[in-house]
Amino acid sequence: MLAGPSASLRSLSPFELLDVPILERIAFYLATSRFIGPPSELVPLLCTSRTINASLRFRSNHHLYSQIFCQKFDSAAVTRRLSWGRTTVECFSEELRKRSTILTRMRHRNAENFAHLQEDLWAVYLILLENDGKNMAQLCLWAKLPTWIASVIEDKCQVPREHPLSWVKDIEGTSLVLWLLWMSSDEGAFLVCQLLHMLEPFLVHGHRFSSAYAPDAFFYLPLCAETEVAIPCTTGLPLPIARDFVHYGRKIKLAAPPLIPAALLNYVVRLEVRLDDNPLPSAVAQLPETRAQAAAMGLSLPRLTQEDIINFHFHTRTRFFGDYNGLGSERLDNEWFRTVSCHDPWAVDRPLRGIFYHLGSLTGHWNGRALIPYLQAHIDANMPNRRPSVQGVTWAHERISCVFKEHHCLTPDEPISAPAEAHGWGEDILNVWLPRRLEIKHGIDDLTLHDRETGKTVRYETYHADRENPYSRPSKMSSEWRCDLPPVSEDSQYETDDDYEEVFEQRTSGVTDIIITGETYDRESPAWGSFSFIGRVRPWDGFVVLLRRSVRERRSDLRHSF
């Protein structure tokens, strides 16, 4: 004789008697029926009964919440950049809980949320580095990211200058908010040009803030321990700001992104918006109208014409970050690996070291503008013990129009040495980390460098991105891969660094050094002058330094003031 259902089962409703996988499906479709925002629709369901709650609550069903996370947020980037220990259901569900809390704080913008500002800024920055469409939608459509950024900037500017979270004092927070401002800007966004005067101090005093993840005086990194004390007084540049942060349920050490590039990008796009409505200077009318007219008048070159100024003033524009959104998160892999790998210039072992520079990134035609401060005003603004207004510094604009080529030193060849700086601290940054007595010979498919000081000659292969084999000779690509990550323990909510070492799986490119050469675009040389370019890429973080030299004598009328 078969026993009937127990009393406890008879007391349950038919809904409560459903199998857990069926309940999960119901909960999943309920939570994701509205794409944007946290899965708040689950709250009434979880309150239905203890039985339902026990089956679907967070700590009992990581599988459900990880599925919700992957439906609402992008996961391709973390899967690509980190090992499988970061992509478990526990990691994804924990990240869903954290992001739901942070997005809710952003949406409500309460005064007490200021205490969580650094955590929120870091979380949003990492979310944007992983954006493939879903993340930006959650931030903009639900958390109102542009409004939140404006509110953060206003709050940081209203607190006293000496406050640890003020606009000028909190370099870490200000750098993050400026990068968020840039990464959320597109041509259709409302660009507040009033922000220009808030960005000018960073440009005028740019030498006081970071432009890279390590001082630019050093080409060879990591540094030796003996330089630790001397760096701040010899380079004058701040070291990376490092912070421990919980990302996908595990602590990770991060380096704050450099402030100056973000300040410059935000400044230039807003300046160019303002130029659209500004009339040309009256002096432009005194110039020849066209290049043909200038030639007919027998004027010496280089010489600006009205058409040159009009083209530069109204049509030379910086591309917005949003213009590249169609490329997805993969284009931001470089920034991610700098963030997780460049927090300590002395660290020999960097297990998360990835790709910092994509081969061929600089190859091709480039157009833009150089902002050059008027010398005396700039000197006065940076004199010690004086506080002249940075608004007194005016800027001359020059058009930069050039063609760059990349030249790669391939294994097993050894690259040309970077000579030490004259005073012994770092390498010769003023000569782009190259020997002073360097002979450069350009070939069709190569660049030959000869150091007359040491007698060393090195051949660099010119990189041709449009070819199936980008080099004139077969390159020896290393097939050595980094090992993957051991299994994650389930005993602790947050794993510590001692539990296991996390590494990034990668293959080396066979490139040991990158030299950049370039020249002014032929069409712009008669107007803005002819220049040659030489540069080098620092392998530690992909930092690029360029040196521009005048091919002909430069004329003072080539600068265009606004």
In the structure, what pLDDT confidence band is assigned to residue 112 with cuts at 50, 70 and 90?
Answer: low
Greater confidence (73 vs 189) lies with 73
Please write the tens of the pLDDT for every residue from 446-457: 999 999 999 999
In the structure, what pLDDT confidence band is assigned to residue 325 with cuts at 50, 70 and 90?
Answer: low
For residue 541, which phi and psi values (nearest 5 degrees)?
A: -145, 5
Residue 250 has pLDDT above 60, yes or no: yes
SS3 235: helix
In the structure, what pLDDT confidence band is assigned to residue 10 with cuts at 50, 70 and 90?
Answer: low
Give the residue carrying structure tokens 């058009």: 399
Residue 269 has pLDDT above 50, yes or no: yes
Q: What integer pLDDT is reported at residue 230 of this predicted model? A: 55
Greater confidence (230 vs 153) lies with 153
DSSP letter string, 8-57: HHHTS-TTTTS-HHHHHHHHHHHHHSS-SS--TTHHHHHTS-HHHHHHHS
Give the mean pLDDT of 32-50.
94
In the structure, what pLDDT confidence band is assigned to residue 553 with cuts at 50, 70 and 90?
Answer: very low
Residue 2 has pLDDT above 60, yes or no: no
Greater confidence (389 vs 359) lies with 359
Residue 244 has pLDDT above 60, yes or no: yes
Give the mean pLDDT of 12-34.
91
Residues 6+ apart with CB under 8 A from 65: 58, 89, 92, 93, 96, 97
SS3 371: strand
Give the mean pLDDT of 469-493.
50
Pairing of β 446-451 and β 250-255: unpaired
In the structure, what pLDDT confidence band is assigned to residue 359 with cuts at 50, 70 and 90?
Answer: very high
Predicted model pTM: 0.89
Q: What integer pLDDT is reported at residue 165 of this predicted model? A: 86
Under 8 Å between Cβ of 369 and 268: yes
Percentage of the chain modeled with pLDDT above 90: 58
